[in-house]
Chains A and B, each alone.
Chain A
Amino acid sequence: MPVDISLNVNGKAVSAQVEDRTLLVELLRENLRLTGTHVGCDTSQCGACVVHVDGRSVKACTMLARQAQGAAVTTIEGLAEDGKLHPMQEAFRENHGLQCGFCTPGMVMSALDLVARNPDPSGAEVREWLEGNLCRCTGYHNIVKSILAGANAMRGGS
């Protein structure tokens, strides 16, 4: 039987009707129509569905929607401000950090959690951090380059 839940998504209070077994990613994509969060493997491995819940990057395919009751969720749609890409998104565009683009939302959300913990990561630290994000185009080199450039821009660098 569907129940009402309320949470904050990308800075806005939202409520939705979900089943007890509805996943967070299903709530985001199907109820809220925020389809930037992708479902890749659906088995907690690929990281295409990474979003932030109360500031922590998690796999939205491995969390029940009801676990997010009252939480603050940020998705890829919540990053750009006034039509201007977030510096990390801009860095992916500038550095050809995407090929097919399917893994990109998860890569960007994961990268932002890294930069929040470690504003000036090394290339090796970025690669280690991306353990839970798979790019089947194997475009990792430019993804790492993008994240380093994004981190630099977020520190105020040029």
Chain B
Amino acid sequence: MYAFNYHRPETLEAASAALAAAADGQVLAGGQTLIPTLKQRLANPSDVIDLGGIAGLGGVRREGDAIVVGAMTRHAEVASSAEVRNAIPALAALADCIGDPQVRNAGTIGGSIANADPAADYPAAVVGLGATVRTGRRTIAGDDFFTGLFETALEEGEIVLSVSFPVPRRAAYAKFPNPASRYAVVGVMVAETASGVRVAVTGAGGHAFRVGAMESALGASFTPEAIRDVAVSPDGLNEDIHASAEYRAHLVGVMARRAVAAAAGG
């Protein structure tokens, strides 16, 4: 690791001030991506601002028709939260299949979405459940949050505070994990919400995206058969040693049908 200055502020204001004062500041949440990145010398921030000392950024609560997850809430807490399991079991199940138990004990939702790894699981939930991301400055619609490969709508110095997930009528997440890393080769969140069906895909593209043709077909009939013939184009999809773009496009259909079957059955 290159040397950096570590800060552990106790308030959000102090964190923002430290970030603003730094030549090249980097926010540290659970560290499950950032620390390996620093160890490989793939990043060289002048200052690392740890949010771990700020009270009130973690935890899950019900607010009306939504489940609000604090930015520093660890994956294991979301997975085991009775509130989440009752209201949005698909979200608890998604959190429970991230990485491994020790990663889930450290990694946070805020860190995951701010990092915007194209193969991360949470983006499928943020987009698929029509969530809203609250930051220190504003709220951002889940549909607008992910803008590219490791790119989000967050501005310089903007810190995620919480993510609000409207409770769907029913939802399920189906994932084809990379057998070694457990990142999603393809993951699909399907949700039937008050405003219609949403289908969001992670792992396949540069960032999570919705599949409109599947959403309208499922709006007419919420069954796996309804989307059997909806093809997803491989154009622009990710291609790497793990899977070709064509294979990923195929997996989107398979995972979407599995998610619909799981949601319809539950």
Interface of A toward B, CB cutoff 8 Å: 19-21, 23, 42-45, 47, 50, 56-59, 62-64, 66-67, 69, 110, 113-114, 117, 129, 131-133
Contact = CB atoms under 8 A, between A and B. Distances in A.
Contact of A42 (B31, B39, B105): B39
Contact of A132 (B8, B28, B74, B100): B100
- Interface residue SS majority, chain B: mixed
A114 B5 CA distance: 35
B102 A20 contact: no
B204 interface: no
A63 B99 CA distance: 16
Interface of B: 1-6, 8, 28, 31-32, 35-36, 38-39, 48, 50, 52, 74, 76, 80, 99-103, 105-106, 180, 182
B27 to A, nearest CB: 13
Q: Which of B38, B48, B102 has the most CB of A within 10 A?
A: B102
- Interface residue SS majority, chain A: mixed
A50 B102 contact: yes
B32 to A, nearest CB: 6
A110 B106 contact: no
Nearest to B50: A67
B106 A20 contact: no
A44 B48 contact: no
Contacts of A117: 80
Contacts of A63: 31, 35, 106
A115 to B, nearest CB: 12
A66 B32 contact: no
Given A44-B103, A59-B102, A62-B106, A20 B48 contact: yes
A64 B6 contact: yes
Contacts, number: 78
Contacts of B102: 47, 50, 57-59, 110, 132
Contacts of B35: 23, 44, 62-64
A69 B101 CA distance: 22
B138 to A, nearest CB: 29
Contacts of A23: 35, 39
19 contacts: A19-B3, A20-B5, A21-B6, A44-B103, A45-B180, A50-B102, A56-B74, A56-B106, A57-B102, A57-B105, A58-B105, A59-B102, A62-B36, A63-B106, A64-B48, A66-B6, A67-B50, A110-B102, A114-B101
Q: Which 10 A-B pairs have the closest CB atoms?
A: A132-B100, A20-B6, A131-B100, A56-B105, A21-B1, A132-B102, A59-B102, A62-B35, A58-B106, A66-B6
A50 B35 CA distance: 16
B209 to A, nearest CB: 28
Q: Which of A62, A131, A133 has the most CB of B within 10 A?
A: A62
Nearest to A62: B35
Given A50-B102, A58-B102, A110-B101, A64 B182 contact: no
Contacts of B2: 21
Given A43-B36, A64-B35, A56 B3 contact: no
Nearest to A42: B39
B37 to A, nearest CB: 11
Nearest to B52: A67
Contacts of B50: 64, 66-67
A20 B105 contact: no
Nearest to A44: B36
Contacts of A133: 100
A143 B32 CA distance: 26
Given A42-B39, A56-B76, A132 B101 contact: yes
A114 B80 CA distance: 13
B199 to A, nearest CB: 28
A64 B100 contact: no
